[in-house]
Structures are given as C-alpha cells and as structure tokens.
Structure 1
Amino acid sequence: MDQTVQDHRDMKHFHDKAKHHMYQFVQVELNDGSVYQGILHSHDHEKLYLIMPKMHHHMGEESSSRLFPFFGPFGLFGFPFFGIRAFGPFFPFFI
C-alpha cells in the first residue's frame, strides 16, 4: 500500500476519534514515547489541542491562581497528528 494512502487513512482515523472524544479527559502518546494527559479542547487538520497544566509557572502566577482558579496555571497545547502514536480516553482511577 502506498505510504500517502496509509497516512491519509490514519489522519481520518485520528480526526474521527478526536470528534468522538471532544471535551473528555484523554491521554496522548507521542512517537518519542512521551505521554500527556489533558482535556481534548479541539482539533484542526494538522493538530490536536489539549488543555493541560502549564509545566512551569512563577511564584506570582501560582498565588494569583489560587484567587482566580479559572485563570490558573493551564494552557492550550497543540500536538501535530504526525507525531502522535496513539490517543484515547484516560481513566486515572479504578472502576
């Protein structure tokens, strides 16, 4: 099978899966083995966007986030589809 056909098929699968899990807590595994968890916010033709805690924040930001939790240490992070090995719902608890 031609590689471009396979890539197109994988992209369609990822887009369908993203629509199904929109606004859910998901886990994304990248091709380099790194793993991220966050809320699936949106997607476009090239990227999947998660709302995740910011990795680094300053002391001033930390104290203000306690007062205004909705403006807290969260950000919108984009992951290119070509770099994603797998993603799906994340269950951080036992059922």
Structure 2
Amino acid sequence: MQPYFNQNAAYPERDKADHHEKCRKHLYHFVQVELNDGSIYQGILHSYDGEKMYLLMPRDHHRTDETSGENRLFPFFGPFGLFGFPFFGIRRFGPFFPFFI
C-alpha cells in the first residue's frame, strides 16, 4: 500500500489560488465539500477569505459546542448556521451533484 500523498502540502499557494478561483465561480451556489478526513458536507457557499470558505448549512448538520467561542450561528439565518472550513483541510469541493465532476 502506498502512503497517501497530500497535494495541498506540496503546493499550498497554488492550491489556495485554485480554491479562491473556484470559490469566486461558485459563490452563492449549493456546493459539496470533502475534507481530508473523508467527511462530506453540503451547503450554500456564503463567502470566503484568505484562509477559509464559509458554508450556510442546517444547524443540526454540523456538531457545535454551545460553550465554545467558535460557535458562529447567527439568529437571522433561522435554522441555519455559518460554518468555516479551512482551505488546508479541504480535499476537494464543487457544485453539488450526487458525484464530483
């Protein structure tokens, strides 16, 4: 079995530029995100910054710790919350389909 090679570790700046371009293209669209640990999330791509992309997802879709200062749930989103995903932890993302294209 070959060891897993993380492309993001080899070319972090190139991949960050790729993520920013993809975020710009899919802003306010329904997207699917696969993290490096294999977990998959779907939500509306709300915004992004230099380090993270933010998805609007149902509150119960993502585990939250009510005592944590990291909780970014806003009452004006209703039953939804805004969750940040750091670019270094994302394996791939794109428009939501039953599969990645």
Work out whether the TM-score is over 0.5. yes
Task: Give 1 or 2: higher helix fraction.
Answer: 1
Assess, with a 3 A threshold, how the Cα gap between structure 1 residues 87 and 55 changes in structure 2: closer, same or farther: same
Identity %: 69
1:75 aligns with 2:81: yes
Q: Where do 1:1-95 residues align within 5 Å?
A: 6-55=11-60, 71-91=77-97
Structure (1 or 2) with the larger CA radius of gyration: 1
Equivalenced residues, count: 77
Runs of 5+ consecutive residues of structure 1 not aligned to the other structure: 57-69
Runs of 5+ consecutive residues of structure 2 not aligned to the other structure: 1-7, 62-75
SS at match of 1:55: helix
- CA displacement at 1:72 relative to structure 2: 2.5
Q: TM-score, normalised by structure 1?
A: 0.74
Q: Where do 4+ consecutive residues of structure 1 move more than 4 Å?
A: none
Assess, with a 3 A threshold, how the Cα gap between structure 1 residues 19 and 37 changes in structure 2: closer, same or farther: same
